[in-house]
Structure 1
Amino acid sequence: MKSSRILPRFAASAAATAMALSLTACGSSGSSASDGLTVWYAPGSVPKASLAVQKKFPGLKIKLIPTPNLETKLKTTLQTGSGLPDVVVIGNDISSYADISNKFVDLKTMGADPKKDYVTWKWTNGTLPDGRVIGFPIDTGPQGLFYRTDLFRKAGLPTDPAAVSKLASTWDGYRTVAEKAKKAGFRACDDANQVYFLQLEQKGQGSFDTSGKYLGDNALTRKAFDYSAKLLSDGLCTKATPYTTDWNSSVAQNVLGAFVAPVYEGPLLATAGSPKGVWRVANPPGGAGSKGGSFMSILSSTKHKKDAYKVVKWMMSPANQASGFKTDGLFPSALDSYKMPELTAPQPFYGGQPTGVLFAKVAKESPTVPVTPQDNIVEGTLTQALKLVAQGKESAGAAWKSAQTQIAKELKR
Structure 2
Amino acid sequence: MKDRRILPRVAAPAVATAMALGLTACGGDGTGSSASSGLTVWYGPGSVPKASLAVQKQFPGLKIKLIPTPNLETKLKTTLQTGSGLPDVVVIGNDISSYSSIEKKFVDLKSLGADPTKDYVTWKWANGTTPSGRVIGFPIDTGPQGLFYRQDLFAKAGLPTDPDAVSKLAATWKGFTTVAEKAKKAGFKVCDNANQVFFTQLEQKGQGSFTASGEYVGDSAVTRTAFYYTAKLLSSGMCTKASPYETDWNSSVAQNALGAFVGPVYEGPLLKTAGAKEGVWRVAFPPGGAGSKGGSYMAILSSSKHQKDAYKVVKWMMSPANQAAGFETDGLFPSALAAYKSPEVTAAQPFYGGQATGAVFAKVAEESPTIPVTPQDGIVEGALTGGLQSVAQGKASVDEAWKTAQAQIKKQLKR
TM range (shorter): over 0.9
Question: Given residue 64 of structure 1, which amino acid in structure 2 is its aligned partner?
Answer: L
Q: 2:110 maps to what in 1? A: 108
* Alpha carbons 2:6, 2:244 under 8 Å: kept: no
Q: 2:23 maps to what in 1? A: 20
Give a deviation string over 1:161-207, Cα, whole Å, max 9, x none: 00000000000000000000000000000000000011010000100
Q: 2:229 maps to what in 1? A: 227
Measure how far apart 1:26 and its partner are.
Answer: 4.2
Distance 2:65 2:30 in 1: 23
Residue pairs, 1:195-344, within 5 angstroms: 195-344=197-346
Measure how far apart 1:307 and its partner are.
Answer: 0.7
Residue pairs, 1:141-152, within 5 angstroms: 141-152=143-154
| SS of aligned partner of 2:115 | coil
* Alpha carbons 1:13, 1:374 under 8 Å: kept: no
Distance 1:201 1:179 in 2: 24
| SS of aligned partner of 1:63 | strand
TM-score (normalised: structure 1):
0.98
Residue 123 in structure 1 maps to residue 125 in structure 2? yes
Distance 1:17 1:73 in 2: 12
Measure how far apart 1:6 and its partner are.
Answer: 5.3
Distance 2:237 2:306 in 1: 57
Measure how far apart 1:409 and its partner are.
Answer: 1.1
Measure how far apart 1:4 and its partner are.
Answer: 5.6
| SS of aligned partner of 1:13 | helix
Q: Which of 343, 355, 366 is the aligned partner of 2:357?
A: 355
Question: Given residue 66 of structure 1, which amino acid in structure 2 is its aligned partner?
Answer: P
Question: Given residue 279 of structure 2, which amino acid in structure 1 is its aligned partner?
Answer: G
Distance 1:26 1:314 in 2: 26
Question: Kindly tell me: are residues 105 and 26 of structure 1, through their superposed partners in 2, closer, same or farther at Cα, counting changes over 3 Å?
Answer: closer
Measure how far apart 1:291 and its partner are.
Answer: 0.5
Measure how far apart 1:2 and its partner are.
Answer: 1.3
Q: 1:189 maps to what in 2? A: 191
Q: 2:397 maps to what in 1? A: 395
Report sequence identity in percent: 76
Question: Given residue 29 of structure 1, which amino acid in structure 2 is its aligned partner?
Answer: G
Distance 1:266 1:389 in 2: 27
Q: Which of 166, 169, 172 is the aligned partner of 1:170?
A: 172
Distance 2:363 2:351 in 1: 20
Distance 2:44 2:339 in 1: 22
Give a deviation string over 1:271-300, Cα, whole Å, max 9, x none: 000000000000000000000000000000
Give a deviation string over 1:281-329, Cα, whole Å, max 9, x none: 0000000000000000000000001110010000000000000000000
Distance 2:287 2:321 in 1: 30
Measure how far apart 1:58 and its partner are.
Answer: 1.2
Question: Kindly tell me: are residues 241 and 5 of structure 1, through their superposed partners in 2, closer, same or farther at Cα, counting changes over 3 Å?
Answer: closer
Distance 1:44 1:185 in 2: 37
Measure how far apart 1:29 and its partner are.
Answer: 1.7
Unaligned runs of at least 5 residues, structure 2: none
| SS of aligned partner of 1:187 | coil
Distance 2:369 2:24 in 1: 32
Distance 1:28 1:89 in 2: 20
TM-score (normalised: structure 2):
0.98
Measure how far apart 1:15 and its partner are.
Answer: 3.2
Give a deviation string over 1:228-268, Cα, whole Å, max 9, x none: 00000000000001000000000000000000000000000
Distance 1:82 1:4 in 2: 32
Question: Given residue 186 of structure 1, which amino acid in structure 2 is its aligned partner?
Answer: F
Q: Which of 151, 155, 163 is the aligned partner of 2:157?
A: 155
Question: Given residue 174 of structure 1, which amino acid in structure 2 is its aligned partner?
Answer: F
Measure how far apart 1:3 and its partner are.
Answer: 1.5
* Alpha carbons 1:155, 1:183 under 8 Å: kept: yes
Distance 1:136 1:411 in 2: 30
Distance 2:10 2:24 in 1: 21
Superposed structure 1 runs of 4+ greater than 6 Å apart: none
Distance 2:28 2:95 in 1: 24
Q: How many residues align?
A: 412
* Alpha carbons 1:5, 1:376 under 8 Å: kept: no
Distance 1:303 1:47 in 2: 25
The more displaced of 187-196 and 66-75 is 66-75
* Alpha carbons 2:254, 2:276 under 8 Å: kept: yes
| SS of aligned partner of 2:326 | helix
Distance 1:112 1:26 in 2: 21
The two structures, once aligned, show a CA RMSD in angstroms of 1.1
* Alpha carbons 2:278, 2:350 under 8 Å: kept: yes
Question: Given residue 393 of structure 1, which amino acid in structure 2 is its aligned partner?
Answer: K
* Alpha carbons 1:24, 1:79 under 8 Å: kept: no
Distance 2:389 2:70 in 1: 29
Distance 1:160 1:141 in 2: 23
Distance 2:290 2:268 in 1: 17
| SS of aligned partner of 2:244 | coil
Question: Kindly tell me: are residues 333 and 26 of structure 1, through their superposed partners in 2, closer, same or farther at Cα, counting changes over 3 Å?
Answer: closer
Measure how far apart 1:373 and its partner are.
Answer: 0.1
Distance 2:31 2:73 in 1: 17
The more displaced of 182-191 and 53-62 is 53-62
